[in-house]
Amino acid sequence: MSQSSKEKIFIGSFIHSNECGELIVIDRGMIHVKNGKISNIIINPNSNDEKNKNVIVLNNTQFLIPGFVDCHIHAVQLPNLGVGYDKELLEWLEHYTFPLEKKYIDEKFAEQVFNTVVKQTIKSGTTTACYFAALYPKASVILGQAVINKGQRALIGKISMNITRSDNYYETTEESIININKFIEDLTKLNSPLIKPVITPRFALSCDMTLMKKLGKLAKEKDLHVQTHVSENLDEIEAVKNMFPEYPSYTAVYDGAGLLTCKTVLAHGIYLSDDEIALLNERGTAIVHCPSSNTCLKSGLCDVQRLKSKSIKIGLGTDVSGGQSCSILDAIRSALQVSTHLSLIKENYRALNYKDVFHMATLGGAAALAMDNQIGNFEVGKEFDALVVDIDISDGLLNNLQSSTLEERLQKFIYSGDDRNIVEVYVSGCKVK
């Protein structure tokens, strides 16, 4: 078997999810990657196949999983990780977040932070990220360039906002439309298949209906993704009601602006009513669960099982820096803990298990971003975005389960592993860690 530089063949164990959220466990398989995409999968390959010098053979403490998908992360907020949790959302934004975000007018500062964000997230296994970038178009394009340089896959959103309570951190409606168009044009000029722009009204309290309608129209005309926040905090929900009294709900405000599509992701959704969930379902709009942010900012406990039972697509987000970590593994554990808390206070509540959250972090996240035809698991025709996990590294976890199954090894990684156990990261077949 010959292999060109555009081809890679992996032999070893791999584990991924299907659309139903079930684990698919392959103890010994071969994945053939051509031009970044999976071109063939063979279960139990012939041992002669291992002899080819171009084949990458995983050792028996290693296994492949799909790359993690972070459906909601604020690249600009990385410097604030771990601070500001004495305030809840609205005060936190004014006190800690907006003052930091204003600094991205400085392009050097933007470049420095964004290089670090992309490096850190790749190190933690995020192969696809849906980023909130900056208010400023130039800084937002710099994030796009950092993503391309490091080989990550990403949706990049220049924040749109024409209302602010803190001084001098907003655009006029006219500026906002000029800036978003300029951003889309400049990002598109970078000409990379790895990145796409995403329309990003910050949230209903930062945008008036005129701006939101213009953004909804633009998303429709250009067939773009949309991201924003919904129903995160009780004071926020009250303020949205007061600002848009003519709409029956927070979700209905976005729908009125034409922002809810099957390519829209809404972060949080903790306090959604049944009517709001039905509306999201009708539009095919996804919710991004951000459990560490929801606990750090004391926003609430999101009942993911309720959303799942009503067929809402759910992805997972770190929501840096509402969340205290840019690692999806940490978000996975927070999701497990939030769900366990809910099971302790609600009768007959089934807590999420590691298989559920693994699915949310991979194929579920890909589906939330309407990218599951491209990424999320190992299927012929999909991009090869993958992590090589090793649970027996000298300075990390030890594989002390003598006869451990592959499922047990995945469980160990999910509950107790960290970025040291992610020994290689691939995006579109290229090794990026």
Q: Which residue ranges make up the site for ligand GUN (CB under 6 A)?
A: 74, 89, 93, 97, 202-203, 229, 232, 293, 319, 322
| Rg of the chain taking only CA atoms, in angstroms | 21
| 107-123 vs 137-150: helix crossing angle, rounded to 10 | 40
- Residue 90 near residue 239 (C-beta atoms within 8 A): yes
Query: What residues have CB less than 8 Å from 344, skipping those under 6 apart?
Result: none
- Residue whose CB is less far from Zn ion, 30 or 267: 267
> Residue 276, interface with Zn ion (CB under 5 A)?
no
Round to whole Å and give the CA distance between 286 and 72: 12
Torsional sign, CA 358, 361, 366, 367:
positive
Q: Which partner from the list ligand GUN, Zn ion, none does 244 bind, CB cut-off 5 to 8 Å by kind?
A: none
Instruction: Tell me the two tokens of residue 130.
Output: 């849906």
Q: Which partner from the list ligand GUN, Zn ion, none does 203 bind, CB cut-off 5 to 8 Å by kind?
A: ligand GUN
Q: Nearest residue to Zn ion, using CB?
A: 319
Chain centroid, CA 141 distance in Å = 19
Q: Which partner from the list ligand GUN, Zn ion, none does 232 bind, CB cut-off 5 to 8 Å by kind?
A: ligand GUN
Chain centroid, CA 24 distance in Å = 22
φ, ψ dihedrals at 180, nearest 5°: -70, -40
Round to whole Å and give the CA distance between 342 and 249: 25
Q: Which partner from the list Zn ion, ligand GUN, none does 383 bind, CB cut-off 5 to 8 Å by kind?
A: none
Q: Which partner from the list Zn ion, ligand GUN, none does 93 bind, CB cut-off 5 to 8 Å by kind?
A: ligand GUN
Q: Which partner from the list Zn ion, ligand GUN, none does 318 bind, CB cut-off 5 to 8 Å by kind?
A: none
- Residue whose CB is less far from Zn ion, 11 or 290: 290
- What's the half-sphere exposure (Cβ side, CA atoms, 13 Å) at 98? 18
DSSP assignment of 69-125, as one string? EEEEEEGGGGGGTT--TTS-HHHHIIIIIHHHHGGGGSHHHHHHHHHHHHHHHHHTT
- What's the half-sphere exposure (Cβ side, CA atoms, 13 Å) at 271? 15
The CB-of-269 to Zn ion minimum distance in angstroms stands at 12
Specify the DSSP element, H or E, that contains 40: strand 37-43
- Residue whose CB is less far from ligand GUN, 17 or 80: 80
Instruction: By CB under 5 A, name the one of 255, 303, 319, 390 that touches Zn ion.
Output: 319
- Residue whose CB is less far from ligand GUN, 21 or 300: 300
Q: Which partner from the list ligand GUN, Zn ion, none does 362 bind, CB cut-off 5 to 8 Å by kind?
A: none
The CB-of-267 to Zn ion minimum distance in angstroms stands at 5
The CB-of-371 to ligand GUN minimum distance in angstroms stands at 23
> Residue 232, interface with Zn ion (CB under 5 A)?
no
> Residue 70, interface with Zn ion (CB under 5 A)?
no
Give the interface segment with Zn ion, choosing from 241-249, 265-273, 362-370, 394-402 (CB under 5 A): 265-273
The CB-of-390 to ligand GUN minimum distance in angstroms stands at 33
- Residue whose CB is less far from ligand GUN, 202 or 308: 202
φ, ψ dihedrals at 419, nearest 5°: -65, -20
Q: Which partner from the list Zn ion, ligand GUN, none does 303 bind, CB cut-off 5 to 8 Å by kind?
A: none
Sites of contact with Zn ion (CB under 5 A): 267, 319
